[in-house]
């Protein structure tokens, strides 16, 4: 009985102490609650945070960026005023951006013939103004480009309208294009004027390629191969209304496409241009191109049983030719180049070949956007006097 009374008394004594301790512990837990404390939520996770608007650069700042611009690549064109002349439509549901651009390439040349005659003149090789429109989500892009340099066999209006097309890259690895564009007649013949290593194109390109035609084409680009096929009107530069149909196709293989450039880039391919314009014509060609670090080399061959080139069509001439080019970047801006170029304008006539030996320097001040060019050409002709040409050219892309 005494034990029960003692336990009861101890319970009465300890109960207030335990209650006080529990209340003290509970108060400490409550004080740690963020609802009671004035705790600041970090800005990085704040729901109410608003992004500060990006302040657009002023015209002066954009021009300063152009002045300090450093370009390492020279195999693609870069436009110096792209930031200034590009307008973005962030709120527009259809148009993403538009870009106005211009390109110029010209040279002063001196020609020395073996007879002692010297001719000096200035050439506008290329003078283009273009306007590009890009839609949202890569749905489509459009281009209108005007060509202002004169050409003797075409009037001003025929030569004025150059690229005019609408295209889309919506299908992965593919590009679909409808309109007036430069088709892939050969390797150099398909290249734009602002990435050429020399002032003048090779002889097979000047005769067979570098034309613009109205048609529809599809091109594909994969790691190990690429292609470009199209059907066109055999007219060139709006001189006739559909004188016939023309097929132009090119296939390229990339044997080193899976090596991430460790051994360079190798391109091996061929092309065909066949159609009808008064008579049938067909041009076939093959090409090889290799780039490794500072070194580049290419080779291209073509043979024509009639052709439909920039100077007009020659359906009765069987011509052929080839060229090879070597180039090396001496510095990040200075390139040394050399080319051997041979052309037979008519294989049915003997001793009429034309050979050109060219050496030159390219100085890429701002990549292809601002470039100085120096070329020396020795022209060896079987049926005419030999001659020498010295050309000093300038290229500006805005």
> Is residue 340 one of the residues assigned to a domain?
yes
DSSP conformation class of 224 = S
pLDDT (0 to 100) of residue 313 = 77
pLDDT (0 to 100) of residue 64 = 83
50-54, 86-90, 172-176, 390-394: lowest mean pLDDT where?
A: 50-54
> Is residue 62 one of the residues assigned to a domain?
no
Say what percent of the chain tops pLDDT 90: 64
In terms of residue numbers, what domain contains 214? 72-397
> Is residue 9 one of the residues assigned to a domain?
no
Tokens of 1: 């009985």
CATH assignment of the domain containing 192:
2.40.160.10
Nearest to 250 by CA among 201, 209, 297: 209
For residue 15, pLDDT beyond 80: no
pLDDT (0 to 100) of residue 4 = 42
Residue ranges of the alpha helices (H) in the chain? Answer: 2-31, 59-67, 82-85, 156-160, 203-208
> Is residue 45 one of the residues assigned to a domain?
no
> Is residue 231 one of the residues assigned to a domain?
yes
Average model confidence (pLDDT) across the chain: 85
Residues 148-190: tens digit of each pLDDT: 887 777 777 888 888 999 999 999 999 999 999 999 999 999 9
Residues 220-242: tens digit of each pLDDT: 999 999 999 999 999 988 888 88
pLDDT (0 to 100) of residue 74 = 85
Q: Name the residue with higher pLDDT: 42 or 329.
A: 329
Rg (CA), the chain: 34
> Is residue 42 one of the residues assigned to a domain?
no
3-class DSSP state of 63: helix
pLDDT (0 to 100) of residue 52 = 52
pLDDT (0 to 100) of residue 35 = 33
91-95, 155-159, 387-391: lowest mean pLDDT where?
A: 155-159
For residue 343, pLDDT beyond 60: yes
- Count how many domains the chain has: 1
112-116, 306-310, 366-370: lowest mean pLDDT where?
A: 112-116
Side-chain half-sphere CA neighbours of 18 within 13 A: 6
pLDDT (0 to 100) of residue 53 = 54
> Is residue 268 one of the residues assigned to a domain?
yes
For residue 250, pLDDT beyond 70: yes
Q: Name the residue with higher pLDDT: 202 or 23.
A: 202
> Is residue 105 one of the residues assigned to a domain?
yes
For residue 285, pLDDT beyond 50: yes
pLDDT (0 to 100) of residue 158 = 80
pLDDT (0 to 100) of residue 9 = 39
């Amino acid at each position: 009985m005494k034990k029960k009374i003692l336990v009861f008394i101890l319970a009465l004594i300890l109960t207030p102490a335990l209650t006080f301790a529990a209340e003290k512990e509970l108060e400490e837990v409550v004080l740690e609650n963020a609802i009671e404390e004035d705790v600041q939520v970090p800005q990085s996770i704040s729901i109410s945070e608003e992004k500060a608007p990006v302040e657009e650069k002023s015209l002066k700042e954009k021009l300063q960026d152009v002045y300090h611009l450093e370009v390492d690549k020279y195999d693609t064109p870069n436009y110096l005023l792209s930031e200034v002349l590009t307008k973005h439509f962030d709120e527009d549901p259809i148009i993403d951006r538009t870009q106005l651009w211009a390109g110029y390439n010209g040279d002063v040349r001196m020609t020395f013939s073996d007879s002692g005659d010297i001719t000096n003149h200035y050439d506008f090789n290329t003078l283009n103004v273009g306007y590009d429109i890009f839609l949202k989500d890569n749905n489509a892009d459009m281009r209108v480009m005007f060509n202002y340099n004169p050409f003797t066999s075409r009037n001003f209006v025929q030569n004025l309208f150059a690229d005019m097309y609408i295209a889309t890259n919506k299908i992965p690895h593919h590009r679909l294009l409808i309109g007036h564009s430069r088709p892939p007649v050969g390797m150099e013949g398909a290249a734009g004027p602002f990435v050429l290593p020399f002032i003048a194109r090779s002889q097979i390109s000047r005769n067979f390629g570098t034309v613009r035609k109205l048609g529809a084409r599809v091109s594909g680009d994969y790691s190990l191969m690429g292609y470009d096929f199209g059907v066109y009107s055999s007219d060139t530069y709006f001189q006739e209304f559909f004188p016939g149909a023309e097929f132009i196709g090119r296939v390229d293989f990339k044997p080193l496409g899976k090596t991430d450039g460790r051994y360079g880039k190798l391109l091996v391919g061929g092309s065909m241009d066949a159609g009808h314009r008064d008579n049938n014509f067909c041009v076939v060609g093959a090409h090889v191109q290799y780039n490794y670090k500072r070194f580049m080399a290419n080779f291209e061959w073509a043979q024509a049983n009639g052709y439909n080139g920039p100077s007009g069509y020659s359906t009765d001439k069987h011509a052929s030719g080839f060229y090879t080019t070597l180039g090396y970047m001496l510095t990040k801006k200075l390139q040394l180049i050399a080319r051997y170029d041979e052309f037979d304008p008519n294989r049915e006539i003997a001793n009429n070949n034309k050979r050109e030996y060219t050496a030159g320097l390219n100085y890429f001040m701002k990549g292809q956007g601002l470039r100085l060019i120096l070329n020396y050409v020795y022209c060896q002709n079987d049926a005419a006097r030999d001659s020498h040409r010295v050309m000093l050219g300038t290229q500006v892309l805005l």
